[in-house]
Amino acid sequence: MSQSEFFDLIKRLLGTEPSENDDFKSFEAFFDNDFMAFANEESSLADEAKAIQRLQKLEKRLEKFVKFPYTFAKRSIAIGGGFNSGKSSLVNSFIQQPNVQLPVGLNHTTKIPSYVLSSDRMSIQGFSDVGATVEIAPALYGQLTHKVIADLNFKRILPSITVEVPLTEGWFDHLCLLDTPGYNLAGGSTTKDRSRAVASLRGQDALIWVIGLDATGTVPSDDIDLLHDWRDLGLNEAPLYVVLNKADVKPSGDLQAILDEVTDTLKDEELEPVGISVYSAEEGQEYLHVGQGLEAFLRGQNKPHKPADLAEDLKLELEDIFSMYEKAIEQDEKSTKVLRDELNKLDLDLNVVGIDVDAADVLSEKIGKIKKIAQNRDFAPIKQKLAQVKQDMFSLVEAVLLSLVADDPESARTLNVVWRSPTRKEGNDASTNAGRPWYFTQATQSTGESRGSTSRHQGYIRDGKYIKTDAESLRIYEVAHEFNLSSTEMIARLRNLGFQVKDHMSVYTPVMAEAVQKELAAERWATKKNTEATSQARQLININQATAKELKRLLPGIGPKIAKRIVAYRRGNGLFRRIDDLANVQGISLKMVNQWFGYFSIDFSIVNDLHPKLERNLIHVLRQVKK
Ligand SMILES: Nc1nc2c(ncn2[C@@H]2O[C@H](COP(=O)(O)OP(=O)(O)OP(=O)(O)O)[C@@H](O)[C@H]2O)c(=O)[nH]1
Ligand SMILES: [Mg+2]
């Protein structure tokens, strides 16, 4: 093995771009643009920040699946055990292709975890930590042993390897074996190695623990400790299977006694494996077993349920998030209806009570105004939009998931069934649905017309939002009320702006709305300017454009030095993409960044993967913005 071969591999690893998943890119774009546009327009959900956070989490999960598709597509079974017990050999005993073998040996052989998947083609790929993959030749792979990797400090850039190779037929279609580095204190491992070994078992769907019978023929205490650690991870549903390997080195007459003893030990320790196999990896043969035999265990695991389970999980989460919106809008609509009903009653009451006619007129007119406003709150458009956004989001996530199981029709089919089966609370008319997924019914109604186009509705602008109404035209007095102005003030304002208006019954047009809105905004801005403190707090800083002088003036707690450093950092490292990147600047702590939330004009939708300490603040700020 020449050094140049290694350097070539390193060069390729560092120089390869992560592979792109177009479906995921579509999802990302939809989330950042269409969904965010919807979220901005929607105003019923008070706790919208939470919904958005949950969606961002879901996006992260999807992204991980896209980077490492086998974590989605396959059930993964970790192979753990002490050094030299024959973990890699066990995997090799399933490989049907003689020129591909995991490296085996006597002295701490496995260093980089290998994911082994069954496949008709044969390929060995290195995964860099950003999700880039490079092909590794079998001969080179065979030499990637503990020592070589340690010498070249290789593990950091090559955290895992995937080996695709034909495995025993019918056992592994939906499985992925994870060959882990060995561990035992007696063999020179440290406690750090131990926590690492346990950590590598996290997130695996099952564990096969390998014990080499060449050592003592009992379960080493190191193994028992580690298995307890593993159980303590809380993976209660992940089954444990034990392989007593190297049966060929023991007299066959001893094997039953060894199996009995191991069974008792594990029982006493309450580790409860679903089966124990006395096996020889070298011969690829099982001698004895209790509970499930090795083949039965693997065949039992080999079911295409993992993608379906994960898909169901994601689906329920998405539905839950959207139901937050649905409930909030419904609630809002209900309260508006109650308001309307109450106002109607009030009108009737006035007639019955028989108060002074003039007073009744005045009251009645006021009630009329409020009623009109309540009537004009039309929830149909936002509901329709929500249904559309939801349907789009579901189709996009589905596309991403399907892309991950593209080469496994069986998994794709089970995933499809789960994803498209109606769930708990979708309130669509069952007769029109007739066996179709609920979101398709909506799709056929709305696809083509509504997506992406802003329809030209009647409406007015309030607080920077265009409020649509499907009712007949709005009158000036109605809108005046919305702006907290009297009709006379509103008319004067419009005339000042050059509009010809007769009286408060005149129609209020979108052109007027825009002009008034602009003027009011300018006035508000001017008022704010008066108080230096507020103006400082509200003037948003574009962190990627601000000069050092501006930064010093606008950001609390920094002097000219740090301001200059921020600019220098930007020049050296490129634009700030996340708010917490600021904490990389010398002299700026996370705590300081925490205080600066709401100061920047950075769009929060690009603030992904935020430092957990800052996340809480972001939620707070989003809530304020919402108000
Ligand atoms: N006789 C016999 N030897 C075996 C058997 N399985 C593995 N060995 C030998 O045991 C040694 C260790 O095997 P590996 O598969 O590298 O063990 P490992 O558990 O992967 O070891 P690390 O990666 O170092 O943790 C090798 O020399 C193998 O040839 C077996 O069933 N019978
Ligand atoms: Mg090994």
Q: What does the buried/exposed string (b/e) look like for 194-227 if buried means 16 or more CB atoms within 10 Å of the residue's CB?
A: beebbebbeebbbbbbbbbbeeebebbebbeebb
The stretch 429-435 carries a mean pLDDT of: 32
Q: How far apart are CA 112 and CA 163, in angstroms?
A: 12
CATH architecture of structural domain 458-530: Orthogonal Bundle (1.10)
- Give distance in angstroms: CA of 283 to centre of ligand 1: 12
3-class DSSP state of 562: helix
Homologous superfamily (CATH) for 73-303: P-loop containing nucleotide triphosphate hydrolases (3.40.50.300)
Residue extent(s) of CATH 1.10.10 domains in the chain? 458-530
The stretch 445-461 carries a mean pLDDT of: 35
The stretch 2-16 carries a mean pLDDT of: 74
162 strand-pairing partners:
115, 125
3-class DSSP state of 86: coil
Task: Check whether 130 has a pLDDT greater than 50.
Answer: yes
Predicted confidence at residue 297, as pLDDT, reads 97
Residues 175-208: tens digit of each pLDDT: 999 998 877 666 666 777 777 778 888 878 999 9
pLDDT-derived band at 121, boundaries 50, 70, 90: confident
Q: How far apart are CA 57 and CA 608, in angstroms?
A: 9
Q: How far apart are CA 387 and CA 385, in angstroms?
A: 5
pLDDT-derived band at 450, boundaries 50, 70, 90: very low
Predicted confidence at residue 421, as pLDDT, reads 79
In the chain, DSSP finds a helix count (H) and a strand count (E) of: 26, 12
Residues 203-224: tens digit of each pLDDT: 789 999 999 998 877 898 889 9
Q: Is 560 in the pocket of ligand 1 (CB under 6 A)?
A: no
Task: Check whether 494 has a pLDDT greater than 70.
Answer: yes
- Name the phi and psi angles at 450, rounded to 5: -90, -30
Predicted confidence at residue 442, as pLDDT, reads 24
What percent of the chain is predicted at pLDDT more than 70?
78
Which ligand 1 atom is the nearest neighbour of the CA of 183? 25
The stretch 409-418 carries a mean pLDDT of: 87
The stretch 387-393 carries a mean pLDDT of: 92
Task: Check whether 448 has a pLDDT greater than 60.
Answer: no
pLDDT-derived band at 458, boundaries 50, 70, 90: very low
286 strand-pairing partners:
279
Q: Is 110 in the pocket of ligand 1 (CB under 6 A)?
A: yes
Task: Check whether 536 has a pLDDT greater than 60.
Answer: no
3-class DSSP state of 524: helix
Residues 614-624: tens digit of each pLDDT: 666 656 655 55
* 170 burial level (CB within 10 Å; 0-12, 13-18, 19+): exposed
Task: Check whether 456 has a pLDDT greater than 50.
Answer: no
* 591 burial level (CB within 10 Å; 0-12, 13-18, 19+): exposed
Nearest CA to ligand 1 atom 9: 86
Q: How far apart are CA 212 and CA 82, in angstroms?
A: 8
Q: Is 312 in the pocket of ligand 1 (CB under 6 A)?
A: no
The stretch 435-441 carries a mean pLDDT of: 24
Instruction: Check if the beta carbon of residue 399 is closer than 8 Å to that of residue 392.
Output: no
CATH architecture of structural domain 535-626: Orthogonal Bundle (1.10)
Residue extent(s) of CATH 3.40.50.300 domains in the chain? 73-303
Task: Check whether 423 has a pLDDT greater than 70.
Answer: no
Task: Check whether 167 has a pLDDT greater than 70.
Answer: yes
Q: Is 91 in the pocket of ligand 1 (CB under 6 A)?
A: no
Nearest CA to ligand 1 atom 27: 105
pLDDT-derived band at 96, boundaries 50, 70, 90: very high
3-class DSSP state of 167: strand
Q: What is the mean pLDDT of the chain?
A: 79
- Give distance in angstroms: CA of 90 to centre of ligand 2: 9
Q: Is 111 in the pocket of ligand 1 (CB under 6 A)?
A: no
Task: Check whether 135 has a pLDDT greater than 70.
Answer: yes
How far CA 528 is from CA of 278, 525, 552, 625, in Å, comes to 79, 5, 20, 17
Q: How far apart are CA 588 and CA 127, in angstroms?
A: 34
Per-residue HEC secondary structure of 354-378 comes to: CCCHHHHHHHHHHHHHHHHHHHHCC
pLDDT-derived band at 351, boundaries 50, 70, 90: low
* 125 burial level (CB within 10 Å; 0-12, 13-18, 19+): middle
Residues 62-93: tens digit of each pLDDT: 998 988 888 899 999 999 998 889 999 999 99
Question: First CA to last CA across the chain, in angstroms?
Answer: 65
- Give distance in angstroms: CA of 263 to centre of ligand 1: 22
Instruction: Check if the beta carbon of residue 66 is closer than 8 Å to that of residue 52.
Output: no
Q: Is 89 in the pocket of ligand 1 (CB under 6 A)?
A: yes
Lowest mean pLDDT among 240-254, 291-305, 448-462, 522-536: 448-462
